[in-house]
């Protein structure tokens, strides 16, 4: 089972430090959701995990070895990343794009095989994009395109999959479908999944482990019940809310309270105490 | 996700791939046919036409009085240089456009050709050099311009409007330097000026074409061998890196090889206007979706130079070097692209 750990990580861009002193143990074979306000450093953290950004201090350790010392292609066979806003080049079909997921498995010696074709086909079917395989990616809707990108990451067949906001651009049906798909993947192949999600309720419902980041530091990590609390939401997002158990899953569910329309008799003061 | 299932989808994507490969091969065969036709036209056309049977005899090594010299010493080198210089420009151009994800980021727009050209003029006119020394200096100058643009445009990331603007500015400066050096040369002619400012294959020799052939083989081979990494880089830096492409090394190799192609060809034929810029988009239009059309772009480049030169020599009133013809073709497209990128509010 692969293990992924972050030790005393510090990282940033140029002279600006974004992440400070961050320790994190990603549970193997589980689904982890990273939550936090805009610009708090979630994407930066994923980029460090996938070694797209070199930390200024600390390290990311995969299976007991610092990722800095793992050859690029080796790493790409074990750990996949779907960036937050990937670039869809013009003049590329869905099948082309998903086939790139096989890139790390190709090499001087290993040519494209039937297994590669099947992996691509499986990824297309899992994301329900098989019927648009011959369409050009830049002519798809935002949601279709997002599913195609996820298909590419699936075709990579890695033990660990990092996804930066995989459900943005998707309608609620497709959001749920993608999250269900990730759970399937997690259960059938034991893939460790780490994703950034903005929807706290979906995060609590689908993740085994929640990580809340605030201003580049780890705020809280643990089970959804221990992380999604009124206090954490207030501290991490600066938003007052009520947390109640989800009537179907029993997971915590939060209802934000704005200044308006929060209902009669409920003021923000009532809920923060 | 068992490996037994999905066979239908797998079969379909295999079929799509095979169909496309066939279509591309067919297109490449057609383009090769056009290149052969262009070479044939170049070889037979002159003040007096050479008949095809005479041409075949000359190429087989027989002497045909009155025609052998023109065909072997004048027209054949001209056609050969047109093809390999055109291929170098086409391939070098499409690599830049692919890598920077911008059709305007072609080496002849952003000053790399002008840098190589300026160095070649300087070496020939001021230093009195010739042969491969000129090529080497041109390559160094091309690299230097590439590096300079990279440093000046650093803040923007690399593919942005700043890079294009800085490149266009540098290109204009280098062109005026070329004009200045030529104007100080003891016996400069309009022909020389045109060669170094817009490019020409006039007076080509096979000996001159040799370094271009070498660079096309070495750099072109290198680029084709690394094609998969180059393709993955189209998906953006983060995705490419996550797919296991060692970005820094691959980018450096691709840029150096592309600059090498452009600079060596420029050192011999001058910066044949807009061939690097036009070949990629034309090839893409012809081949449709799929991998970036490297071989098709090279062949389009060869065709542009061959047919442009033929047009300039035989179809227009008066004789013009090939760069004047391709320049007239490329300028409207450049204007179109600039207007379009301005309108759509996208970064130029
Ligand atoms: N390439 C970059 N160069 C410089 N600064 C950057 C870069 N990418 C991100 N930043 C900065 O780093 C900080 C953290 O950005 P990051 O993308 O990690 O935030 P995030 O938590 O993913 O936000 P969001 O929810 O909006 O996606 C921001 O202040 C951002 O401006
Ligand atoms: Mg982000």
Percent of chain B with pLDDT strictly greater than 70: 93
- Inspect the interface and report whether the beta carbons of A156 and B243 lie closer than 8 Å: yes
CATH number of residue A22's parent domain: 3.40.50.300
Angle between helices B190-198 and B112-121 (to 10 degrees): 150
Question: Least CB-CB distance to B238: which of A72, A83, A118?
Answer: A83
Q: What is the pLDDT of residues B261-306, one digit of tens each?
A: 999 999 999 999 999 999 999 999 999 888 899 999 999 999 999 9
Q: Which of A169, A200, A198, A197 is nearest to A182 (CA)?
A: A197
pTM: 0.90
The Cα B326–Cα B314 span in angstroms is 15
Q: Where does the pLDDT of residue B344 fall: very low under 50, low under 70, confident under 90, or very high at 90 and above?
A: low
What residue in A sits closest to B286 (Cα-Cα)?
A91
Question: Mean pLDDT over residues B225-231, rounded?
Answer: 92
Domain carrying residue B150? 85-347
Please report the DSSP string for A101-136 in residue order: GGGGG--SS----HHHHHHHHHHHHHTT-GGGTTSB
CA-proximal residue: ligand 1, atom 29 (nearest): A39
Q: Where does the pLDDT of residue A108 fall: very low under 50, low under 70, confident under 90, or very high at 90 and above?
A: low
Q: What is the tally of structural domains in chain B? A: 1
Ligand 2 ion: nearby residues, β-carbon < 5 Å: A 43, 84
pLDDT at res. B5 = 59
> At B267, phi and psi to the nearest 5?
-65, -20
pLDDT at res. B347 = 44
- Inspect the interface and report whether the beta carbons of B232 and A100 lie closer than 8 Å: yes
Residues belonging to chain B: 348
Summary mean pLDDT of chain A: 91
Q: What is the pLDDT of residues A177-234, one digit of tens each?
A: 899 999 999 999 999 999 999 999 999 999 999 999 999 999 999 999 999 999 999 9
Q: Would the CB of A40 count as within 6 Å of ligand 1?
A: yes
Q: Would the CB of A39 count as within 6 Å of ligand 1?
A: yes
- Name the helix (H) or strand (E) containing A200: helix A200-206
Burial class of residue B113, CB neighbours in 10 A (0-12, 13-18, 19+) = buried
Q: Where does the pLDDT of residue B186 fall: very low under 50, low under 70, confident under 90, or very high at 90 and above?
A: confident
At residue A264, does pLDDT exceed 70? Answer: no
CATH number of residue B181's parent domain: 1.10.3470.10
- Inspect the interface and report whether the beta carbons of A86 and B9 lie closer than 8 Å: no
Domain carrying residue A241? 4-272
Ranges A6-10, B144-148, B231-235, most confident: A6-10
Q: What is the pLDDT of residues B299-343, one digit of tens each?
A: 999 999 999 999 999 999 888 999 999 999 999 998 888 888 766
Q: What is the pLDDT of residues B28-69, one digit of tens each?
A: 999 999 999 999 999 999 888 888 889 999 988 888 888 888
Q: Which of A261, A251, A202 is nearest to A229 (CA)?
A: A251
Q: What is the tally of structural domains in chain A? A: 1
Question: Mean pLDDT over residues B220-235, rounded?
Answer: 93
Question: Mean pLDDT over residues A51-78, rounded?
Answer: 94
Summary mean pLDDT of chain B: 89
A·B CB contacts under 8 A = 113
At residue B8, does pLDDT exceed 60? Answer: yes
């Amino acid at each position: 089972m692969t293990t992924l750990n972050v030790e005393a990580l510090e990282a940033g861009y140029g002279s600006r430090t974004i992440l400070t002193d961050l320790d994190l143990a990603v549970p193997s074979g589980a689904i982890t959701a990273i939550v936090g306000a805009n610009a708090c450093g979630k994407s930066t953290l994923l980029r460090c995990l996938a070694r797209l950004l070199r930390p200024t201090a600390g390290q990311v350790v995969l299976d007991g070895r610092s990722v800095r010392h793992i050859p690029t292609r080796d790493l790409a066979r074990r750990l996949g990343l779907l960036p937050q806003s990937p670039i869809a080049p013009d003049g590329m079909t869905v099948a082309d794009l998903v086939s790139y997921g096989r890139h790390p498995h190709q090499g001087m010696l290993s040519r494209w095989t039937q297994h590669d074709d099947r992996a691509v086909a499986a990824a297309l079917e899992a994301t329900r994009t098989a019927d648009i395989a011959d369409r050009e990616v830049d002519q798809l809707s935002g949601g279709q395109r997002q599913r195609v990108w996820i298909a590419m990451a699936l075709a990579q067949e890695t033990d660990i999959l990092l996804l930066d906001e995989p459900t943005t651009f998707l309608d609620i049906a497709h959001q749920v479908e993608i999250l269900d798909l990730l759970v399937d993947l997690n259960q059938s192949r034991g893939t460790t999944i780490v994703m950034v999600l903005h929807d706290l309720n979906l995060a609590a419902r689908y993740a085994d482990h929640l990580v809340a980041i605030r201003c580049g530091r780890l705020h809280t990590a643990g089970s959804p019940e221990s992380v999604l609390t009124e206090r954490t939401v207030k501290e991490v997002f600066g938003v007052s809310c009520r947390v109640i158990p989800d009537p179907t899953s029993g997971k915590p569910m939060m209802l934000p309270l704005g200044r308006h329309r929060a209902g009669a008799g409920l003021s923000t003061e009532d809920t923060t105490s | 996700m068992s490996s037994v299932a999905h066979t239908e989808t797998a079969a379909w994507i295999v079929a799509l791939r095979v169909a496309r490969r066939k279509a591309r091969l067919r297109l490449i065969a057609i383009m090769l046919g056009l290149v052969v036709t262009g070479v044939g036209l170049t070889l037979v056309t002159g003040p007096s036409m050479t008949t095809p049977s005479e041409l075949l005899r000359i190429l087989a090594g027989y002497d045909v009085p009155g025609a052998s010299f023109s065909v072997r010493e004048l027209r054949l080198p001209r056609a050969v240089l047109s093809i390999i210089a055109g291929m170098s420009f086409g391939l070098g151009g499409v690599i830049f456009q692919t890598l920077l994800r911008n059709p305007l980021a072609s080496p002849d727009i952003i000053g790399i050709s002008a840098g190589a050209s300026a160095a070649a003029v300087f070496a020939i006119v001021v230093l009195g050099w010739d042969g491969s020394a000129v090529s080497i200096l041109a390559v160094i100058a091309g690299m230097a311009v590439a590096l300079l643009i990279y440093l000046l445009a650093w803040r923007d990331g690399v593919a942005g409007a700043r890079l294009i603007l800085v490149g266009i500015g540098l290109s204009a400066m280098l062109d005026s330097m070329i004009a200045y050096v030529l104007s100080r040369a003891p016996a400069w002619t309009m022909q020389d000026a045109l060669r170094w400012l817009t490019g020409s294959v006039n007076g080509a020799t096979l000996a001159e074409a040799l370094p271009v052939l070498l660079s096309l083989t070495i750099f072109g081979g290198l680029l084709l061998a690394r094609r998969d990494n180059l393709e993955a880089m189209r998906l953006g830096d983060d995705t490419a890196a996550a797919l296991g492409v060692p970005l820094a090394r691959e980018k450096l190799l691709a840029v150096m090889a592309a600059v090498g192609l452009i600079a060596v060809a420029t050192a011999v034929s001058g910066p044949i206007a807009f061939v690097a810029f036009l070949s990629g988009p034309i090839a893409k239009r012809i081949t449709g979706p799929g991998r970036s059309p490297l071989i098709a772009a090279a062949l389009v480049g060869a065709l542009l130079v061959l047919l442009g030169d033929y047009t300039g020599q035989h179809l227009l009133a008066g004789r013009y070097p090939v760069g004047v013809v391709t320049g007239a073709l490329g300028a409207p497209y450049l204007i179109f692209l600039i207007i379009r990128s301005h309108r759509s509010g996208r970064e130029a």
